[in-house]
Amino acid sequence: MTTMDKAVKGTKNQIGKLIYTSDESDEFIQKLKATNDISKIASFLLLINLGLRKSELLALQWQDIDLQNKTIRIHQAIGWDELNKPYIKVTKNYYERTLDIDDETLQALFKWQELQAEQLKLQNIEHKGNKQFIFTNNKNTFYNNSNLNRWLKKFQTQHGLKLVSVHGLRHTCAIRMFYQKKDIKFIQHFLGHTNITTTIDMYIHPLC
């Protein structure tokens, strides 16, 4: 059992129930990659490996991914108006960041980029080039905000995994980086926090 696993399982508050341990993360990723849904593989690897907010994930366009240099630019998010219609806005706290993409997530993005183009062509739906949103519904419009939650819960239930929310994957990413000895300032930048206190008090401190 890793130090992270002991910390998560030993915590006396609720945070241990809301995130994955290191072993649970590995199991989640292993079972995720065994599915045939490359779109979901890419999206959930971005969530658990890079700690993106759901609103940032759904606003990603291919122009934000540099596959050659293995980086991703986070500069916008999806919002929902009073009529529940989606729109593009700036990221939370107006914090723009560029992150390195791990090889596992990068490979999934490569595969999804090719498959998405093929699927849109077969459906006679316009591919918008670099401005094409990466994760869309079957009509190539914005993904419904609750669809990711529903898919995740169904996937976890089918595979006997702990029920961790989409936002819980972001917390899992933060704790994994902390126990990998990443600097707190590095984690702060990765998560897009303008205030390091948020990183420490809301993401790190509950397990320390």
Q: Provide the pLDDT confidence category of residue 14 given band limits of 50, 70 and 90.
A: low
Q: Which of 10-14, 19-23, 78-82 has the lowest mean pLDDT?
A: 10-14
Domain count for the chain, please give it. 1
The pLDDT tens digits for 16-38 are: 568 999 999 999 999 999 999 99
Task: Note the pTM of the prediction, 2 decimals.
Answer: 0.89
User: Taking 60 as the threshold, does the pLDDT of residue 83 lie above it?
Assistant: yes
CA distances from 68 to 71, 106, 110, 115 (A): 8, 10, 11, 18
Span 152-161, mean pLDDT? Answer: 97
The pLDDT tens digits for 101-135 are: 999 999 999 999 999 999 999 999 999 999 999 99
Domain that holds residue 30: 3-207
| Dist CA 102 CA 79 (whole Å) | 27
- Closest by alpha carbon to 102, among 28, 171, 49, 37? 49
CATH number for the domain harbouring residue 83:
1.10.443.10
